[in-house]
Structure 1
Amino acid sequence: MSKIQCIACGNSVDVAGLSIKDFYYSGDMFSISTCRHCGLQSTQPKPLADKLAGYYAPEKYISHNTGKGGLFLRIYQLVQNVNLFLKLRGITNMGTPKGALLDIGCGNGAALRYFNRKGWRGKGVEPASEARRHAISSGLEVFEENFLDEASGASFDLITMWHVLEHVYDVPERLKQIRRLVKSDGLVVVALPNPGSYDALHYGAYWAAWDVPRHLYHFSQKSVELLAMKAGFEVTAIRPMWFDAFYVALTSEKYKKSGYFGIITALLIGFWSNFVSGRGKQGTSSLIYYLRPR
């Protein structure tokens, strides 16, 4: 059986694991390898970088959607506004004053626009050309990924990655780039799906947040702490994301072809997942990690 090295703890990991279908787009099959030491999981095989773009459909990938959609998209956007309020409140509660913001993987710029309206001086990075063009056309400063190497060091008070790090090939290198860019007293905020959540365990191979092969890594809390430490950060807080369980459960039921009854099931699973997370240590469907430079 072939082995790979865990990027978080360095231990040897079996490539074979849980088989997952790309329900969202291609229908291709992948597997999830799991490190028994730190819990980091990774998608196998990973598509080559120049092939991965073919697994994205911008008109379907909701953070990149730039036009009008149906009821589901409108509900998503309504919940997104509440989520943005909660995200900003969480950052404010961490004692971070308004200043220079870099939103990596900003998509169509929804979060960046919101933070700018609230007094931040924001810039964005977005690799998807269509989403980047839309963000720029709305008046935002958004750059390609090479900006991360070209920007001046220690120039941002806040760097955010909202469900982005799981899409990155070289996670340690990306965290090193961010460590160079954030100020010594700055804050880095990383939102990630949580494969240890109740809804992940309930749905198994149908869990929508596997999102293979677009999600290259699936992070345990321990693996995030190890990767952060190696890059010169300390995880100072971990907070829940309450709405994600409902969106993930609805999409998972869609993958299961549950019909209208699946909507009721998804709502129940979402509520129960959040309830269980408040009584244990596994956390909500997604988690927000707050990192400070060491």
Structure 2
Amino acid sequence: MSNVNSSLEPYSSKERLKPFLKCIDYTVSRETFELFMDPETELLVTFPRPSEKDLPAYYESDAYISHTDSTKSLMDKVYQMIKSYSMKRKLKLINSSSSQKGKILDVGCGTGDFLEVCQADEWKVTGIEPSLKATALAEKKIAPKGRLFNDISEITKEEYDSFDVITMWHVLEHVPNLLEYIDLLKKLLKKDGCLIIAVPNYKSYDAEFYKEFWAAYDVPRHLWHFSQKSIRRIFSAKNFEVLKTDPLIFDSFYVSLLSEKYKYGSSNMIRAFKTGLMSNLKARGTGNYSSLIYLIKNT
């Protein structure tokens, strides 16, 4: 699998990649970005990639809901309702993936709701969240026992091979150095520990329906765009084993609602519901739901 490593990094150029789609950043800048495909893995890559210095500015928006607990707009209310339901399902998933309630690391913990639920269930929680605004909200929920860092590099080598579970809920698509990050996750996880990753799936029906208006492309915040094939190829190259996938069935409705606004200028709830429903129905046969959770074992 060494050829996968060589083909993925550093992606500093478009060499070997094929043009796939042009998208607009509808959340912040209104700038146009391009997606290119690695034909070997089906991974899509966003170009141009903002510099490390410039990237935080693309997250500075009240519309970036995962960094707030807002319930002001209809979109906020829908998001918070789905988030509340998802917390219980996520907790059930991590409890089924580990033989003990030990240490859990949530990368991209946002405002800390998931960590709060895990801590109440007797997990020892650590969170990573670069947004200071979101961290301030998370601290109130998990203090004083829980720990928070702004960057995963702040976790010292003394904690290598110590986490029972690492979760990344719609975070992997944001990390700048994909394979290096996976290497670090592997070091932090215990042998036979579990990595749980949720990412959008651009092979879904709603992605094909909305094309460049599909909200889950979310350029340039999403630097990588995954299919089931790309996840399996990348993680198997790093000696992980994908044990199973689970759908996030509400994502198709939420993403369709946002995509309606991007495509038509307003959110048509009826049309968004129909598209989201159709996406889930088609995925029952293909497995290509709008977003997928991957349960991945550290072998």
TM-score for the superposition, normalised by structure 1: 0.91
State yes or no: 1:272 paired with 2:275. no
Other-structure match for 1:183: 190
Query: Deviations 1:184-226 (Å, cap 9, x if unpaired)?
Result: 1211100000000010001000000000000000012121112
Q: Secondary structure at the match of 2:190?
A: strand
Q: Give the Cα–Cα distance (whole angstroms) in 1 for the partners of residues 21 and 91 of structure 2.
A: 36
Calculate the aligned-residue CA RMSD, in Å.
Answer: 2.1
3-state SS, counterpart of residue 28 of structure 2: coil
2:285 paired with 1:284 = no
Q: Structure 1: which amino acid aligns with 2:218? A: D
Counterparts in 2 of 1:284 and 1:36: CA distance versus 1, 3 Å: same
Give the whole-Å Cα distance in 1 for the aligned partners of 2:105 and 2:285: 34
Letter in 2 for 1:266: A
TM-score, structure 2 length as denominator?
0.90
Maintained 8 Å contact 2:46/2:220: yes
Query: What is the CA–CA distance in structure 2 between the aligned matches of 1:236 and 1:192, rounded to whole Å?
Result: 16
Q: 5+ unaligned residues in a row in structure 2: which ranges?
A: 1-5
In structure 2, C-alpha distance between the alignment counterparts of 1:20 and 1:133, rounded to whole Å: 32
Evaluate the alpha carbon distance shift between residue 95 and residue 132 of structure 1 in structure 2; reply closer, same or farther with a 3 A threshold. closer
Change (3 A) 1:180 1:95: closer
The 8 Å contact of residues 12 and 35 in structure 1, kept in 2 or not, is answered as no
Aligned partner of 1:159 in structure 2 is 166
Matched, 1:64 2:67: yes
Partners of 1:286 and 1:20 lie apart in 2 by 19
Shift of 1:91: 2.7
8 Å contact kept, 2:23–2:219:
yes
Matches within 5 A, 1:36-115: 36-115=39-118
Distance 1:94 1:149 in 2: 25
Aligned equivalents of 1:13 and 1:32: distance in 2?
13
Is the 2:173–2:225 contact (alpha carbons within 8 Å) kept by the matching residues of 1?
yes
Name the SS for the 1:101 alignment partner.
strand
Number of residue pairs matched?
288
Aligned to 2:8: 7
Q: Which amino acid aligns with 1:176?
A: D
Q: Report whether the alignment pairs 1:142 with 2:148.
A: yes
Partner of 1:246: 253
Q: Could you tell me which residue of structure 1 aligns to residue 131 of structure 2?
A: 128
Q: Secondary structure at the match of 2:127?
A: strand
Q: Distance in 1 between matches of 2:72 and 2:244?
A: 36
Q: How many angstroms apart in 1 are the aligned matches of 2:50 and 2:183?
A: 23
Q: Per-residue deviation at 1:249?
A: 0.2
Q: Distance in 1 between matches of 2:70 and 2:76?
A: 10
Instruction: Summarize the Cα distance change of 1:136–1:43 in structure 2 as closer, same or farther, 3 Å threshold.
Output: same
Identity %, equivalent residues: 36
- 1:170: Cα distance to partner? 0.5
Instruction: Tell me which moved more, 250-259 or 141-150.
Output: 141-150
For residues 33-79 of structure 1, give each alpha carbon's deviation from its aligned partner in whole angstroms, at most 9, with x where no partner exists.
Answer: 01222210010111111111111125321110144523331232121
Paired AA for residue 235 in structure 1: V
Taking the aligned partners of 2:70 and 2:83, their CA distance within structure 1 comes to 15
Q: CA deviation at 1:111?
A: 1.1
Q: Which runs of 5 or more residues in structure 1 are unaligned?
A: none
Structure 2 counterpart of 1:54, which letter? A
Higher mean C-alpha displacement, 138-147 vs 111-120: 138-147
Residues 134-159 of structure 1 show CA distances to partners (whole Å, capped at 9, x for unaligned) of 21233242112122455511111110
One-letter amino acid matched to 1:64: H
